[in-house]
Structure 1
């Protein structure tokens, strides 16, 4: 069976890494950034380069790397937030005003279709193979560049693949193979030279990494069975869970919640019932709208539902198929031009497919 993961990760990656500020001085450099979010399929866009791979001041988009904390860790204040948010969602006031009517309708249609779509059956001894193709923006400052001059940066898109093997017994050993691919989209000739020179310096071991971990407990954190089981089955309670367990890193609770919900959907690990609840939770996030009725991502066409945080110059989109309940993928779009990237440019995307296999690398 081979199917695109549907609405229901996901960088885990952020796009758990929340969406980082590409131009703020507070954005961490590669040398000091937290361990990359393990998008079981990232983006998300996954940050696969090591400091040796990109030696200078490199900033990579798109997602967040902070793992969701357990519900049991909620403080009294967080629990109060949950109660307030649930009431607010029920009556249309409070923390969540909700998505547009058009987006809400499409998300509900997708949630219903998700329940009707069978999840892959993994027999004992087999593995669920979750394959992700991702592209993320890289903002690099060379040794002779002025870090305060945004126009001096080398900006290019870095492609990667991720293949996660999940055993039938999810507490068994998982295998995760990640490969950084040769960059092929550049926003200047200077960026092309920088990117290709950096790529040429990578050894085969730096381009492809294979990690193994019992129960999926990789350093950096994909969603484990315990994480998924801790998520409420009610949409309002689930959204409140994401608000209350935020570890920061985004410009608003809404941005953070949408990013982390996208991570779970993109991971390929959430069962159909949870995926449906996640879509209904998205419908409760303010400013989510339908941005494109016929959006193409990695050769597939779906409806783009997105949100632009008021503090951002880019928008985060989910590409879904409301008739099948399948999640085609995710993308980030530069809405307004910056010093390097033209307006309406896709600066990152991920697509995820799954199948069942009998062995791992």
Structure 2
């Protein structure tokens, strides 16, 4: 009888095996190369998962937040030769390298003028003429955006890194079934489809759906709390974030816009910040709320004279995930909002601006 060796007997002792190998290197990579490797690793981890449709809203956080990875650890996961400096070729252009996040002075918020400020904003929204998109038309929104890329690297934990400010254009049909997103450097060249069969809700709204929402602030806020509860954040923060999404890349009827502002004023923790700046450098007054979990304050910024919505900003107010207070973790500016006659068409003679 031939006795087979056990697995234990067949295996080599790890220490003995290590003696035959050269000592591991200690690679020192540039920051750009380091972040590129991190991004590739995260893509490899997610490669077996179904690819979701691109979000209609700019992401508040990218997946790498709070996940600083050393170059040596990355080298142990995959071969360096699997990468080339042409990363981003799937997008048709190289993804721009991240830049150091700006840091601003944290201005305290106050509830002293909350009621009067919200009434000014709501009154301006009610008076503003909003175009009614018809069948076959699209709601077009052009923004300038930037969001957090990594909270810090393993070699420099004092800095956070964000995307360079860049243009993002979105087209959506009134029923929310057809759409297009063009975000050069961050989406495939020429853009990607936003076509969807997902049932409309506050988490996946459309213009037609928004028309069905109540315009009484109390009833509206009750519905928002009900439909967005249990999504990770506190109910108050989730309600504020949901309303913020509707302000940025959606077109809502004038009466609903006014109701959204009045509803937001009823959320505990909402304050007025007298000075804030959007991604385009426009200064304004802001309605703001602090996310106690992530430590950042979301600010909706309005023109101080016309009270028109300008954009938003996320400012870290308490340290979390290694992000220092005062760091601007995201910034947006709505540059144009209009109704156009075709997907990918930009406003002009045939477009109606909102």
User: Which residue matches 2:317?
Assistant: 335
Q: Which residue, 168, 175, 182 being the options, matches 1:178?
A: 182
Structure 2 match to 1:355? 338
Distance 1:254 1:325, change over 3 A: same
- Per the alignment, residue 119 of structure 1 pairs with 130
Q: Which runs of 5 or more structure 1 residues have no equivalent in the other structure?
A: 1-28, 54-98, 183-204
- Cα 1:213–1:315 shift into 2, 3 Å: same
Query: In the alignment, what sits opposite 2:117?
Result: 106
Q: Using the alignment, how far apart are the partners of 1:103 and 1:354 within structure 2?
A: 27
Q: Say yes or no: does 1:132 pair with 2:114.
A: no
The CA distance in 2 between the partners of 1:280 and 1:294, in whole Å, is 20
Superposition CA RMSD, Å: 4.0
- 1:158 aligns with one of 149, 156, 163: 163
In structure 2, relative to structure 1, the CA distance for the partners of 1:260 and 1:331 (3 Å cut) is: same
Kept after mapping to 2: 8 A contact 1:151/1:340 = no
Larger fraction in strand: 1
1:169-203 deviations in whole A, cap 9, x for unaligned? Answer: x2486331232547xxxxxxxxxxxxxxxxxxxxx
Give the aligned partner of residue 58 of structure 2: 42
Structure 1 length normalisation: TM-score?
A: 0.58
Aligned to 2:214: 232
Question: Which protein has the larger Cα radius of gyration, Structure 1 or Structure 2?
Answer: 2
1:326: how far off? Answer: 1.8
Alignment: residue pair count:
256
Q: Is contact 2:56-2:249 (8 Å) kept?
A: yes
How many Å apart are 1:212 and its aligned residue? 4.7
Q: Does 1:257 align with 2:239?
A: yes
- Superposition TM-score, scaled by structure 2 size: 0.59
- CA separation in 2, counterparts of 1:214 and 1:319? 30
- RCO (CA 8 Å, sep 6+): is it higher in 1 or 2? 1
SS in 2 for 1:213: coil
Q: Compared with structure 1, are the counterparts of its residues 223 and 137 closer, same or farther at alpha carbon in structure 2 (3 Å cutoff)?
A: same
Measure, in 2, the Cα distance between the counterparts of 1:237 and 1:38: 31
